[in-house]
Structure formats: structure tokens, C-alpha cells
Structure 1
Amino acid sequence: METLKKVVGYICKDRLRVTILFFLCMHIFYSVAFLIADVDAGNTIHMVAAFIYVVLLVQLKDGEDKLRIFTELLVQIIVFTIAATYILGWDAGYGMFLLIMIPGMFFIGCDIERPEWYNGVASVSLLLSFWLLIRISDWFVSEAALQWSDYKHRCYVTNAFLASLLLLCFGVAFEMEIRRIEVNLKDKNLMLIQMASHDALTNLFNRRIMNDLLQKAGNVKREYGRDYSVCICDIDDFKKINDTYGHDCGDYVLKEVARLLVENSKTDQVARWGGEEFLILLRDMTAADSFSVINDVRRAISEHCYEYSGQKIKVTMTFGMSHSKYMNGKENMILQADSRLYEGKQSGKNCVKA
């Protein structure tokens, strides 16, 4: 089964080309078989069909319109089946390929841009051809078909095997395609969730998600009495960094600071609050423990070596904190932390105010 899936995986890469190759090989095989069996009519019709498929392959190589070649493929299958039924008889089993190509048509045409009416017209054409051949098969037969009756059963069995193999490949291919689409949809959904909840540059939570986390922390405080701290921090003189080294350097500093905030704050609940401003939510900590953690974060930020395009950059941050033991409500916590941040900026920066 794994080998079959690998084969079908290859088929999925260029469905039209591989389908043409399948029929080309089938006709070459039959041409040789009829030549050995000394059935000239069968040999001739399969040689002509093989030549047509070679032409289709050459057209594909030259980059011709895929829809036109796909249409030529379907027409070739219908015309050949009618001709083979007349020359070799209905009992040879060539009519099976008309039915097999109905699901095959949808599979092959998935990656070919075509009009909305195309599938309906093609399906009706294949079904109508099959039905007409059944209706006229009793009298629509050549003298040659009557002369090789000893080989009809073998031909029918071979066609049944080839048609079943082709149908099996189409079925497995459909399953693989559905699974591929499901995986792509899951990946895209995860990407959309990531985009909706995280800042694109720093990969931290965005403001909307942090507001939800703050609301949940407040609810837990009210119900279970579990304290939390809010810290708002800001990169000192960030405008000067942008003006001196450029905005690409500013982006580099933002990403480095974001990484250090997460690594040293003992929490993953860190958000880019806006511009060069960040918010850290610390749960289940006393005011003193929260202050100690944030001071360690401040020290890590200021002691880190920032180097961009061969230039070392000095980066510090100022932190303002509030604790749920002394303040109630998300808005009040944020306002107090922001007020403490302003005090820290006024008192010299690179400090923690609580």
C-alpha cells in the first residue's frame, strides 16, 4: 500500500501527463500483444492511438494549453473506444474506460482551469458514449471482431485489470488529495489564529489577547483570591535608536527585548502593548516577588549585548508595576502601572517603580 501511495503521489504532481503516459503504455503493450497474436486490426488501432498520445505528450512539453490537451485526451478516449468496439467487439471490454474516466476526469481536471459547464458536458459525453455503445454493440461490429474470438476473453480480463488499477489509483489519489487539503486547512487555521493573537514582529501576544488574559486574572482574583501583578515597560530613548541606526535596527532591538522579557520574567504572558511598550502579567506572586522578578528582567535587558551591523547598542528599559493586593480592576491596574512607568521615566529611566 505504501508503494502504491508513492506512485499516486507522483501521479498527483502532474496528473494530465501521467494519465497520458498510462494510456500510451497500455496501447504500446496491446500493439505488441496483437502483433504477436497476428491480429492486424488490433495492432493497427493501438499503434495509431499510441502515436496520438505521443503527440499529446509533445504538446505538453511545449507548454500548450492544458485544457485543450485535456479535452483532446477525453475525445481520444471516446473515439478510440468506439473504434475498438467496432473493430474488436464489445466483449473486448474497452467500454470500461469510458466509465473509469468519469471520476478520473474530475481528478485530472482539478489543477486545470476550466469553465463551470465543462465537467457536466464531459461527463454526459462519456456516459452517452457508453450507453450508445451498449445499444448498438450487437450490430456495430466488424468482420475482424468475429475472427479473433479466442482472444476476447484474455483482452477483457486485461482491460478489466487495467481499468481497476486506474480506478484504484484515482481513489487513493482522491484520498491523498483530501488529506493534503485538510492538512493545509489546519496549517492555515493555525496561522490565522497566530496572526489574530500575536504581534507579527515580536511574536508576543497582541493587545487584544492580553486584555482577555487580564480580565481572566481579575476574575480569578475575585473568585479565589489569587493575586497577580501588571507591569508596563518601555524601551528608553527608542526614538533615538531608530534615528541613529535606522528602523531595521529598531526592529532588531524590539525582537531581542521581546525574547529577553519572556526568558527572564518566568511567564509567557507577555504582550507588545504598543510601539516600544510591553505589558507583563505575573500570576500567583506577592508584590515583593513580582518586584524582584521584574528587577531581574530590567538587569538582563540592560546587561545584554546588542550588536547590529557591527555596532554595539546600549538598551535599557523602565518598568512600572501595580499589584492586585492594593488595586482592583483591570483598568485601574493598567492606569497605576502606567503612572509608575511615567514616574520611572521622570526619575532617570532604567528602573522599576511599584
Structure 2
Amino acid sequence: MEVSELNSSSRLRLKVLKGLSLGVGGLAVLVAIGNILVSQSYVYASFVMLYALYSWHVYRQTSKTTIFNGHKYIMSVSLTVLVIAGTVLKPTDTGVFFWTLVFPIIYYLLLGHKAGFLATVSLFLIQMVNIAFQFDTEQYFDMITMMLNFSFCYVTIAVVSHAYEINRVLAENKLSKLATCDPLTGANNRLALKHRYQALQDQQAEFHLLVLDIDHFKAVNDEYGHDGGDIVLQAVVNTMVDVAGSDNVFRQGGEEFCLLLEGVSHHDALAVAERIRKRIAKTPIFYQQRAIPVTVSIGVTQSEASKCAQEINRQADANLYAAKAGGRNKVVA
């Protein structure tokens, strides 16, 4: 699995933006032509045509590797303004008003549940005011009927869109957690580590990498069995999490773990490593009423802008091997 696959929401929103810019942009051209030929609404037709041109620009941008994140907001706002303007300028029976019912779906798919909710509520209130101004005082009951029908339809679509987006995000988060969590220890796995590396490099952030290995772990498995070894692995991870936080702890495989500490000094990184080493060495792990003495060796290295993740890993591993060669139960930087 690639790191990019963890961010399915971004890929979904990009696909929605691509489809919206192509589909609605094409319809906008037809609407502009209709306004020119049929109703002679030249000003409104000009704005609709500008929207169509912008949509074509966005559609071309979606094929690139990077795209301006603000396009989804500009697209949503400009399309909303066009429909509101069409509702104000044209009678309700022309049908422009009914485009409003599509917007909750667009908002939630394109903007997410928080921004989508705010946009959905705002458009509802604006269009309710527009309905009120579309009718004379003599048409009071017609206005009430229109408001009720619009409200029922709009709210139903909005509730379904909101529920879908909330549940989609929850399902995505659960799948992402399953994909990035080590099932035995609860630590983050290698895929999560790769994702974190990429995020730090994108931000050009400085960090320290601590690589930790349990000393003589094979002997623990031989004497206490794999169940005893599993208890040791879990206890070591719990200590690392207590000291450094769960977001920073990763299992690389077997009895080897690592920590990524962002924005800390070299002195503080060494202090974290020593705190973990001492706590593990001083705290025996009990299995079947037997105490298992455990120590760890830790290699520490600092990131540099010129180094890639592989080079940083190699340096940390070299320091770890130096700690083992020096008698184990050590921290080497």
C-alpha cells in the first residue's frame, strides 16, 4: 500500500472537483447560450460563461500532480452565487431555483462535513428569503406551500448528505487505523512511519530518529515462549508511549522500534532515550508469576535537510549497532 492511499478524502474531493468542473461547466455553456438567445439576459449570461471558462481551467488543473486547494471553495462559492442570482433575477417558475437542491450534496462531497454544514445552512436561509420575495402578499398561501415543499426536500437531502459524509469519514479513519497500526503492540507500523517521514519532509521539519532494539530478545522467546515475548513487546511499547506519546512510537519489525521526535533539541532527544532505557531496565516484566529482566539499546540521530529518510535510518541503525557492540543497554548518538 502506498502512502497516498491513506488520504482517500483528498482523492475523493479531487474526483468530485474534476467531475463538477467538467459536467456543470459544460451545462453552464448551454445555460449562457439559452440566456442570450431566449431571455436576452446578457449580463447574467456573461457571468455564467465566465464560470464555464473557470470550470474548464479547473478541469485542466485536476490532471496535474498538485492543485490549488482553494479551487474547491472558489468553485462552490461561484456556483452558489450564480444560482442565488438566477433565483433573484428570474421568476421561480423558470426552474433556476431548483438547482438549490443539488448543493448539499456538492457541499458535503467537496468541502467535508464541517464546511459543508455551514454552507448548506447558509444557502437554505438565503433561498428561503428569496422565496418570500418572489410572491406578492396576495399569494401568501402559495408562498407557504413553496417554502414547505422546498424545506422538506432540501432538509431531507441535507440530512442524507451529512449522514453519508460523517459515516464515510468514520469508516475511512477506521480503515486508516487498521492499515497503520501494529495489531500486537498497538504501535504505529512501517506504513505509518513512511507516511510520517513524508509529512516531515514535505514540511522540511527537523526531527530526531531514535531506533530501539530489545537486547537478547531471542533468549526471551526461547525461555518464556512467544507468549512471554509478546508480553515483553507490549510492555516496551507501553513504556515508550508513556514517555514519548503514542503518535511518535513505531514498530519497524520483530523486536525493533523507533521514535520520531519533531521540534526537540538534541539534548532533549537524548534525555527521552535515556528515560526510556532506564525505565525499561528498572521495571521487570512479569509473565506467569516470573519476572523477565529486559534492557534495550538505542541509536539516536538528527535529521538534516540534505539527507533522505534512508540515510537517516542508516545513521540511526549504525548508532544502534554501536550501542550493542558497546555492551548493550546503552544510548549512542
Q: Give the TM-score range, shorter chain.
A: 0.3 to 0.5
Output the TM-score relative to the length of structure 2: 0.48
Output the TM-score relative to the length of structure 1: 0.45
Instruction: Give the greater-gyration-radius structure (CA).
Output: 1
